[in-house]
Chain A
Amino acid sequence: MNETLTYILTIVGELFSLLTLAALLIWVERRMLALWQDRLGPNRAGPFGLFIVVADTLKLFFKEDWIPPFSEKAVFVIAPAILVITVLLSFTIIPFAPGILITDFNIGILFFLAMSSLGVYSIVLGGWASNNKYSLLGALRGASQMISYEVFMGLSLMGVVMLSGSFSLRDIVEAQRNHWFILLQPVGFVIFFIAGIAETHRLPFDIPEAESELVAGFHSEYSSMKFGMFFIGEYLGITLISAMVTTLFLGGWLGPEFLPPICWFALKTFAFILFFILLRASLPRPRYDQLMGYGWKVLLPVTLLNLLVTGAVVLLLKN
C-alpha cells in the first residue's frame, strides 16, 4: 500500500514539476535570450518578471479556440495532444534520482526512440489537418527532418548501449560511476545532441516552423490552448532531450556527495536547457536541403564510424 502511494506520488510530483518547469521555461527562455542579445527581457510582472508565466498562460487560455471551418476537425484536435502525450510518456523512463523513477523499463532507450518517432505525428497531422499550404509545407519538412534525424539519434545511442551493456537507463547511469560516457563517446554525444535539437525542432533547426518562410509552419492555424499544447510540448521536448543527455552522457544523478542526487540531475539538465537557448540566440537557421544533406552525408557516416570503432574497442577490451 505504502509502495503504491509513493509510486502515485512520484508520478503526480513528476507531472506537476515537469509542467511547471515547462511553463517556467517561457520566462527562462525570454530572459536568457534577452541576456544574450543585450536586452533585459520581461522584468515587469512580479519579481524579475516571473509572473509573465501566469500572464502568458492566462492569455492562452482566454483566447478564442478557433477550429478553422476548412480543417479536418477530429485530426486537428488530436494533433497537439499527441505531442504532449508522447513527450510526457518518454519522461516515465528517465531516472531522476535513485528512488525517483516511474518505470525501470528494460528497453528504456528504445521506448524513448519509439515515443519520439510517434511524436512526428503531431506535426504531420497538425499540418495536414489545418488544410493550409504553409502548414502542409511545414508538416512535410517536419516529417522528413524528424524521420531522418531519428536514425542518427538511435544510432548515436548505440555506443552508450554497447559500453553499458543495457537498454535500461538506470543501468546506464550506474555504469557511469567511474567515468561519464561523454569522455568515452564524445562523437555520440555531439550527434545525439544535434539530433535532439532536430527532433524537438528547436531554433537552429526549426525548419518546420521557419517563421520567415512559412508564417508559423505546422501550427499556423492553431490558437489558444491548442497552440499552447504545441508550445508546452516544445519546452517539454527540450527538457526531455536535456534530461536524456544528462542520463546517457553526463552520469545522470551521479556527482560529488555534497549535493543530493536529484540536485545534480536538475543542475545538469538545466545547463543543457540553457545551452539550447544559447543555440537559439547564436545560430542562424540552415536551409532545408542543407539540413537534410548535413544529416545524411555527414552525420550518418560519422555515426556509423563511431559505432564501428566503439564496437571494436569494446570487443578488444573484453578479450
Chain B
Amino acid sequence: MFSIIRSIWLTSLHMFRKRATIEYPEHKAPLHPRYRGRIVLTRDPDGMERCVGCYLCAAACPVDCIALQATEDENHRRYPEFFRINFSRCIFCGYCEEACPTYAIQLIPDFEISEYDRQNLVYEKQDLLISGEGKYPGYNYYKVAGLDAGVKNKGEGDNEEPPIDIHSLLP
C-alpha cells in the first residue's frame, strides 16, 4: 500500500522535470560525427573520385542495396560507371564503410532523406557524390597505392621507395 502511494507521488513529481522531447523541425538532436546516416561518396584532396569500383561494399551489404559497375579511364584509374544505392532498402549498418579500402563510401550524420515517392529513394552517383573528403581529409588512395594511375609516377608515393632498376647489377 505504501509503495503504491509512493510511486504515485514520485510519478507526480515528474511534472517538474525537464522534458526529454526534442521538438524536431525546430530543434534538432545533436548527432555524433560517427552517426550512421545518409551514405555519400567522397573525393580525393585533388577532387577526383575516391571509389575504385572494387565491389567490396556491394558484397558486404547485407540487404544488397548497393549496385555499381566499375570501369577504367585512359590512365587505368578505376572508377564506377554507375553507383546506385537504394535507400528504401538500406539499413544503415555501416558495413559498406568498413569494407571500403579507399574511404570512398562514408555514412554521415544526416537522416533527413524522406520522400513521398519511393522511387526517389534510389540515389544515383550524382546524388551520392559530394565535393568534399568526408571524415578522412587529406587521404589519397592512389598516393599510397603503388600504382600509376595519373596521380603520381611509380615510386613517388608516400612511404614508397623508387622502383628498382632491374637491368642494373648493383645491389
A interface, over-half SS: helix
Q: For the complex formed, measure the closest distance between the CB of A294 and the CB atoms of chain B, giving whole angstroms.
A: 11
Chain B residue numbers with a CB within 8 Å of A37 are: 14
Contact B4 A38 (CB under 8 A): no
Contact B21 A36 (CB under 8 A): no
Contact B15 A39 (CB under 8 A): no
Contact A36 B12 (CB under 8 A): yes
Contact among B8, B20, B23 with A282 in the assembled complex (CB-CB below 8 Å): B8
Q: Which residue of A lies closest to B25 (CB)?
A: A44
Contact B11 A278 (CB under 8 A): yes
CB contact under 8 A between A282 and B7, given known A36-B12, A37-B14, A38-B14: yes
A281 to B8: give the CA distance in the assembly, Å.
Answer: 8
- Residue tally, chain B, CB below 8 Å to A: 14
A263 to B11: give the CA distance in the assembly, Å.
Answer: 28
Interface check B19, CB cutoff 8 A:
yes
Interface check B113, CB cutoff 8 A:
no
Contact A36 B19 (CB under 8 A): no
Q: For the complex formed, measure the closest distance between the CB of B11 and the CB atoms of chain A, giving whole angstroms.
A: 3
Q: For the complex formed, measure the closest distance between the CB of A310 and the CB atoms of chain B, giving whole angstroms.
A: 22
Chain B residue numbers with a CB within 8 Å of A39 are: 19-21
Q: For the complex formed, measure the closest distance between the CB of A50 and the CB atoms of chain B, giving whole angstroms.
A: 17
A308 to B109: give the CA distance in the assembly, Å.
Answer: 70
Contact B11 A38 (CB under 8 A): no
Q: For the complex formed, measure the closest distance between the CB of A118 and the CB atoms of chain B, giving whole angstroms.
A: 31
Chain B residue numbers with a CB within 8 Å of A38 are: 14, 17-21
A266 to B18: give the CA distance in the assembly, Å.
Answer: 30
Interface flags for B1-39 (1: CB within 8 Å of A; 0: not) read: 000100110111011011111010000000000000000
| In the complex, chain B residues 101-156 whose Cβ is within 8 Å of any chain A Cβ | none
Contact B19 A278 (CB under 8 A): no
Contact A282 B11 (CB under 8 A): yes
Interface check A35, CB cutoff 8 A:
yes
A38 to B10: give the CA distance in the assembly, Å.
Answer: 12
A279 to B12: give the CA distance in the assembly, Å.
Answer: 9
CB contact under 8 A between A40 and B23, given known A278-B12, A282-B11: yes
Q: For the complex formed, measure the closest distance between the CB of B21 and the CB atoms of chain A, giving whole angstroms.
A: 4
Q: Which residue of B lies closest to A38 (CB)?
A: B20
Interface flags for A261-289 (1: CB within 8 Å of B; 0: not) read: 00000000000000000110111000000
Q: For the complex formed, measure the closest distance between the CB of A258 and the CB atoms of chain B, giving whole angstroms.
A: 27
A278 to B13: give the CA distance in the assembly, Å.
Answer: 11
Q: For the complex formed, measure the closest distance between the CB of A138 and the CB atoms of chain B, giving whole angstroms.
A: 25
Interface flags for A29-54 (1: CB within 8 Å of B; 0: not) read: 00000111111100000000000000
Chain A residue numbers with a CB within 8 Å of B19 are: 38-40
A39 to B18: give the CA distance in the assembly, Å.
Answer: 9
CB contact under 8 A between A279 and B8, given known A40-B19, A40-B21: yes
Chain A residue numbers with a CB within 8 Å of B14 are: 35-38
A36 to B15: give the CA distance in the assembly, Å.
Answer: 5
Interface flags for A15-39 (1: CB within 8 Å of B; 0: not) read: 0000000000000000000111111
A38 to B12: give the CA distance in the assembly, Å.
Answer: 11
Contact B18 A282 (CB under 8 A): no
Chain A residue numbers with a CB within 8 Å of B21 are: 34, 38-40
Q: Which residue of A lies closest to B10 (CB)?
A: A282
Chain B residue numbers with a CB within 8 Å of A40 are: 19, 21, 23
Contact B23 A281 (CB under 8 A): no
Q: List 26 A-B contacts (CB under 8 A).
A: A35-B14, A35-B15, A36-B11, A36-B12, A36-B14, A38-B14, A38-B17, A38-B18, A38-B19, A38-B20, A38-B21, A39-B19, A39-B20, A39-B21, A40-B21, A40-B23, A278-B11, A278-B12, A279-B8, A281-B11, A282-B8, A282-B10, A282-B11, A282-B12, A283-B7, A283-B8
Interface residues of A, Cβ cutoff 8 Å to B:
34-40, 278-279, 281-283
6 A-B pairs closest in CB distance: A282-B11, A40-B21, A38-B20, A282-B8, A36-B14, A282-B7
